[in-house]
A and B are shown apart, each in its own frame.
Chain A
């Protein structure tokens, strides 16, 4: 991050300025996300050939991979927000972290469920305690733990430091999930999609770009809506406190 980017981020972290930007951005993110998702799902179900080994079950790829990406990416966002909260003590960062937790947990759960459904016709089993599946299940539980902790902290009037530290500590799971298929040679396939190359044929892979972008924009729109809801509630509570004092 450059020296000029930090003041810019601080300016954006003003709740009123944030809401002024988030209000028009929310329908754009949601609308674009739904359109890209519709194109990706339609193409993935009807426009691509079945895999020569897995047959039609390979089509689960177009929803399973984005769910895994958002489950892990969500925790990365939560951890970055937690660091920003601890370093700059800006409450908007804590609001962002808490807004990410539920969508992140939902997409981690979707990743586990779609992976299980994919596993039945492909591996012959719904579940296996292999490195990737187990570490992803742990991430889901860590999300649940964060939500419980953040709620308890808010109810007891805490300063938000404990959930933020928990959010940072949880990042230890991310490299374990990422490299689980390399470190432990178990049922889940090895890494097949990288930043620069993929072992999946282009004729099968291309709708994944649409569903990845679609789900990511939808996720961003959901996080913005949840942040706006929290900010509006905090504003109303502050107004009530002022009225009670006067």
Chain B
């Protein structure tokens, strides 16, 4: 079985979740500190 589609899906989900969490936290902080 070609594992690359699984590897790419796992990395995409992880990095998207980390980026969304970072961005949401940064926006919430900027909004609160304004």
Residues of A within 8 A of B17 (CB): 106, 109-110
Q: Choose from A60, A102, A221 the contact partner of B7 (Cβ within 8 Å).
A: A60
Q: In the complex, what residues of B have CB within 8 A of residue A230's CB?
A: 32
**Closest-CB distance, B27 to chain A (whole angstroms):** 9
What is the interface of chain A mostly: helix, strand, loop, or mixed? helix
Known A114-B10, A221-B22, A229-B33; contact A57-B28, beta-carbon cutoff 8 A: no
Quick one: given A221-B22, A222-B22, A232-B33, are A41 and B11 in contact (CB under 8 Å)? Answer: yes
Task: Tally inter-chain residue pairs, CB-CB below 8 A.
Answer: 80
In the complex, the answer to whether A228 meets B7 with C-beta atoms within 8 Å is no
Instruction: Quote the shortest CB–CB distance from B21 to chain A (angstroms).
Output: 5
Q: Are B11 and A121 in contact (CB under 8 A)?
A: no
Residues of B near A114 (CB, < 8 A) are: 10, 13-14
In the assembled complex, the Cα of A64 lies from the Cα of B33 at a distance in Å of 34
A contact residues around B10 at 8 Å (CB): 60, 63-64, 113-114, 117-118
User: CA separation between A63 and B33, bound complex, in Å?
Assistant: 32
Is A236 touching B3 in the complex (CB atoms < 8 A)?
A: no
A56 within 8 A of B: yes
Pull 9 A–B residue pairs with CB atoms less than 8 Å apart, ordered by A: A59-B7, A60-B10, A106-B17, A110-B13, A110-B17, A118-B6, A118-B10, A225-B25, A228-B33
